Structure formats: C-alpha cells, structure tokens
C-alpha cells in the first residue's frame, strides 16, 4: 500500500516535519512493506517556513524585533527568483514571549518584527511576498508591521508593484464577537477586561486601516488573523488565500494524494476548528475526491488529543482518529515525550490496519 504521511504541526510540541518523520518511523516498524510518502503540511501558522524549506528554496536568517521588543532570530524562505515566504510566528509567535502569556503581554506584544522581515524580503528584490499567519502573541492589528515599514503611505509605496499574500485559514473579522480580540485574545493571555481594551483599540485602528485601504476592511474574512495582522496586509493591498492551499499547491500535494491508498495526517488537537479549513480538513477533502483507484483514499488522523465524538468523526468522513494521550496515558507524558509517543501511536495504528483501506 502507498501511504501519504502529511501532518500539520502539533502545537509547540512538534513541528510538522518532526511529526511526519515520527509517523513514518512508527509506520515502517509495523508495515515495512508499505511505500511511504512523507509530505509535512502547514496552514500558514508555526512551521510554515520549515515545511516549505523541506521541499525548496533558500532559508535566510534575520535578527528582528520580537513581540515584546527584544531581538529574536527569525527565518524566512526565498524561492528564486523573487518569491518570499514569511512566517509571522517566527517574529511574533507565542513561543517568542519567553514565558506564559499574560494580560500585559497581550496588550504590549506587537508585529514590528514581521514588518522587518517584509523589509528584508523587499531588500532582496522580492516581487511576491507570502506571509503565513497564525500562532502570534499579538493583537495589535498589524500596527507594528506598518510602523516598521515607515507608516501607512510609505508602506504602500514600498510595496507598490509587489504581490502581497496573506496565507491563513482563519476567516475571522478584525472586530466584533468573532473578531481577533474576542476569539483569540484569551489564548494570548487576555482576561475579560483586557479583551475589552483590545477590542476598543482594534476598533479605533480599523478606521486608520480603512482610510489607508479606501474601504472598510474591519469585517472582511481573515482580517482578524494573527491578532489583526491580516487586516494590515489587506489594507496594504494584500490578498487572502488559504494557507493550507498555498502549501498544497507549491508542494504538489494533489498528485501525492491522487496516488495514495491511505492518507495519514494530524495536528495537536483534532476538534471542531480542524473541520473548518485547516490542514486535516483540506487533506480529507482531497483524499475523498481523488484517491487511488477512483474510490478515494481513507483518511486517518493522529492527534495529540481528539475532542470530537465518534459520530462527528464519522460525519466528517474520517476513517479513524487516534490520540497520543490515549497511548501515553496522560497529557503530561503526551506533551513531554510527544515525538516518541507519536512513533508508538503510528506503529500501533499501522499494526491494526488491514487491506480493507486499499
């Protein structure tokens, strides 16, 4: 059987590249006769650059401002001759805080470092800049990015003639009950009072971005991605696309899926958000429509935790979903020894797989 191994990252515990290699090791131990195709994926969040760099391009390292101002080392990818791939989490990710997020960090973290990465790409002659959004510690609406590029008008001038792409599968608006502050603020350390302050700040900032864009962008899909960084990119003339779709296209994922008997994917937590345009959802959609022998490839999900009921998993068309925490025995072990536990889970799942999925 031909097995396509294409997971997303497992939060902060494993990158998509590491997760894919772990699954491959476990699977091979149980079924050495299977042909494995290892193709880690990303939806634009943490791991976006590493996933793409495993397939093509030149990785460039920069020292830029972190979310709280201190310098951090960030990597971006240049695909010759002129396409740059930037991962916002490299500059302003939660992992760059140096500790647990708090209301103070939620209020102060900014996106200046992302703007510095964009400036570095421009200095290298990039004519197309793809910014992967996700995993940020920020809710500044992209203010830091604009300031790093010299302000709104100056930033638009510097980006004149450049194709700017916001790669994200988050469709949330900038403001409102489904906006950046209300939905994602608590994940970034914001308590209820801080969420209210952030919402007010974003509402004020949305008017500035609206003047820059010449239209109201506050409620455009994706404006709330990465704490509103999506809104700033849209205001600068950017176009929102699916992050998972970007990775799938440039890595030739459709062809890989078409030749697979089984697709093994996964992420940190398999829940309702997974079914709303993330990597697992995108892979399953492709597998069910273009699988081998015209019947569709079976999709198996390996995740840190599975938070969906069996009927929800079945309704999503996923053949099976398995959790690391179940084989590890506890969340602590699952997270503290994630890679080895994923190897063990993949071996267990492969051992129980018959030819029924062929």
- pLDDT tens-place string over residues 130-175: 999 999 999 999 999 999 999 999 999 999 999 999 999 889 999 9
Domain count, the chain: 2
Cα dihedral 177, 181, 183, 187 in deg (nearest 10) = -160
194 and 295: one domain?
no
Among 191, 220, 244, give the residue marking a domain's end: 244
The range of the structural domain enclosing residue 105 comes to 48-244
pLDDT at residue 195 greater than cutoff 80: yes
Which of 185, 213, 244 is a domain's end point? 244
| pTM confidence score | 0.88
Co-location of 284 and 148 in the same domain: no
**Quick check: 278 pLDDT over 70?**
no
Mean pLDDT of 247-265: 88
* CATH code of the domain containing 23: 3.40.50.10350
In this structure, are strands 128-132 and 163-167 parallel, antiparallel, or unpaired?
parallel
Question: Are residues 132 and 87 in contact, defined by beta-carbon separation less than 8 angstroms?
Answer: yes
* One domain for residues 15 and 131: no
Whether 69 and 178 map to the same domain: the answer is yes
Residue 188 sits in a domain whose CATH number is: 3.90.1510.10
Residue 119 shares a structural domain with residue 24: no
In order of 99, 237, 265, 322, 338, the CA distances from 272 in angstroms are: 28, 31, 16, 15, 22
Mark whether 188 and 266 lie in a shared domain: no
- Together in a domain, 221 and 259: no
- pLDDT tens digits for range 304-353: 999 999 998 888 878 899 999 998 888 889 888 999 999 999 999 999 98
37 with 54, same domain: the answer is: no
Together in a domain, 164 and 73 = yes
Q: Identify the domain boundary among 244, 267, 295.
A: 244
Residues 301 and 169 in one domain: no
Q: Are residues 94 and 188 in the same domain?
A: yes
Calculate ∠ Cα 90-95-99, nearest 5°. Answer: 145
């Amino acid at each position: 059987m031909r097995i396509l191994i294409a997971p997303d990252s497992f939060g902060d515990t494993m990158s998509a590249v590491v997760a894919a290699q772990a699954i491959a090791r476990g699977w091979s131990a149980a079924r050495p006769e299977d042909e494995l195709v290892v193709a880690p994926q990303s939806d634009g969040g943490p791991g976006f650059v590493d996933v793409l760099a495993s397939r093509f391009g030149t990785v460039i390292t920069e020292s830029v401002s972190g979310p709280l101002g201190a310098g951090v080392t960030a990597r971006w990818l240049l695909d010759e001759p002129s396409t740059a791939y930037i991962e916002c989490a490299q500059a302003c990710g939660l992992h760059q805080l140096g500790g647990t997020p708090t209301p103070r960090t939620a209020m102060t973290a900014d996106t200046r470092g992302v703007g510095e990465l964009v400036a570095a790409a421009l200095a290298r002659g990039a004519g197309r800049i793809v910014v992967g959004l996700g995993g940020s510690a920020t809710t500044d609406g992209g203010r830091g990015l604009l300031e790093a590029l010299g302000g709104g008008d100056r930033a638009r001038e510097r980006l004149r003639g450049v194709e700017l792409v916001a790669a994200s599968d988050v469709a949330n608006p900038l403001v409102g009950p489904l906006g950046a502050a209300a939905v994602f603020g608590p994940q970034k350390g914001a308590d209820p009072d801080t969420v209210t302050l952030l919402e007010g700040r974003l509402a004020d900032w949305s008017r500035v971005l609206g003047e820059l864009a010449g239209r109201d962008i506050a409620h455009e899909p994706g404006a709330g991605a990465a704490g509103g960084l999506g809104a700033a990119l849209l205001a600068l003339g950017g176009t929102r696309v699916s992050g998972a779709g970007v990775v799938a296209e440039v890595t030739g994922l459709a062809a890989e899926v078409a030749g697979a008997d089984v697709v093994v994917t996964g992420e940190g937590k398999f829940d309702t958000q997974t079914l709303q345009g993330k990597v697992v959802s995108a892979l399953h959609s492709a597998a069910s429509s273009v699988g081998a022998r015209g019947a569709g490839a079976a999709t198996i999900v390996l995740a840190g935790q599975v938070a969906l009921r069996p009927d929800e998993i079945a309704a999503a068309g996923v053949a099976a979903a398995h959790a690391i925490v179940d084989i590890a025995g506890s969340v602590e072990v699952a997270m503290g020894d994630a890679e080895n536990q994923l190897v063990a889970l993949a071996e267990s799942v492969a051992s129980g797989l018959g030819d029924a999925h062929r």
